[in-house]
Chains A and B, each alone.
Chain A
């Protein structure tokens, strides 16, 4: 049983999962994040389950993106950022001195808010990760990885004849799927997605959502989104954040149909956001 710390208003109640489906791939325990003097994330406990999509929702500035970036230590590069608490991957702390952050990021991939392909060819974009991790070198082995990653990202049909074109020449939606292909090319265990559709048009968004649903089961996925319908459509678990606190966590259908907390209900019904 996981318990979030109590705040003055209400207890956070985490419903007890049935044992056979509750398999935390990653687990955050009592995580605090400080940005200089700002306390951005406050004592948050959050599991990311194997084979499921976990949605992190909440109003802007509630700390959900900040927390997401803790899962593969992307905040390391920000000098003013300080993380306390514990995050584990398969039971092992990701802050362990033995764990190389580079290796961690190979296992926990990330897709960003704005599509950010490298200004290199489509092929090199996908091949970059496998190359630096020594998964494959040049030749047919690498070709196969690139093809299968693009296939899984649903992009292969569109780009198979223009692999040598620059990744930045693709459309916005294609760029974002290229970034997803790039992330899955190193065969990660977890994929973190930070508002992956916020810069895309509705059609491209639909494609990405479809893709997320297909990828589910193969990877543990955590997605930060502003769009509640999106969270309802793609996720199995939902965590609602407000002002840096985890207000409520549970099955997506429970959160959307029968939230326990008043703040969750207000947000979902559009009272604020």
Chain B
């Protein structure tokens, strides 16, 4: 199926700026030091201004002409957006620059009750969005292209009816270069029919390979490959709904059905989902989506469904959802586990644990889950690092020295009394409370990592007060004349 937007650029602009709707306006760009019209709105065109004209000439023809600058690349952007909007009619949409879309609708039309209704639905929707649209359905993209643009009526070409359909169209319907068209025009080819009757060798000699290729493509003798707007993902499931779905149970049922179909496929192929996205096409033309990620590949319907259930609140159904698409964006090969046998296995490789972490990540966020590994730094604040995955094992040994079970994120200043310089304190005051020290260990000197930051080293002492509470305090820098600063950094158990 080919869709043609007769006034793509101007319709797109008028949609964004409604005040332009009732004015004749053109988009112009400078070509060879001359302002030339690139696109003219329907109103301007009817009054005599057309694309390719100089702006000065058009101004003479249309008095109140509004001239706007043309934005390069705008057509591609618009077509991409419209194409994405058409994804709910077929997954295979490709952009056909400069002013059309080509949809591969094999197996889609019957869902809308036949090709005629299908075409009508799409065209009406695009027209109501403000685009002057014509469309045609044919077995080949080439024929549909020509029929959409040049045939006065009969947009639906029956199977095998390509040659009859294009025979009466002008040669321009074959998507040819302007030079070839000029030549054909000069030689008197007003319609395509005589071209079909001439031997191919003669045509090639006269007009080149391009013409033959286009004819073959239009008639379906040669395959034509197009770049898809969104390349189809290998693991995708679609579920159109008869009635728009608005309720949570309805959405849950839809997700479950999609997951059942997808997981069955994944299971047989030994794959597991790492990342999946549920796209919901709403009847107001908008699209909402929710995504999940897992820490380990999974193809368990119940687990994935629970992850999605946590996300359902984020989906705003508004007037209703007419199409659910579930895409597995990232999958990974899974080793097949015999569930019954290994369900009781404890350890970090446990499936139930991975599922638990997925649920937590889905509800609260993945950044709250932390697993620590030793890092080869002595500085206490930097002595641990976050593990990247559940399977990562420590590459260094954990420190042997006693470390407090609770470490203050920022050391707190304390007042200290020591009998002799460089001895452990006899008493310290923290937050106004005196702690007479009964026992002390230390010092343990930890040097500043000079290649990372500058500052004083720390001398750590482990102190125990008379009640038996144990603290980790340090003196920053050397003891020189009462100027040293003392800090409380942690609590031992």
A and B held together in a complex: no
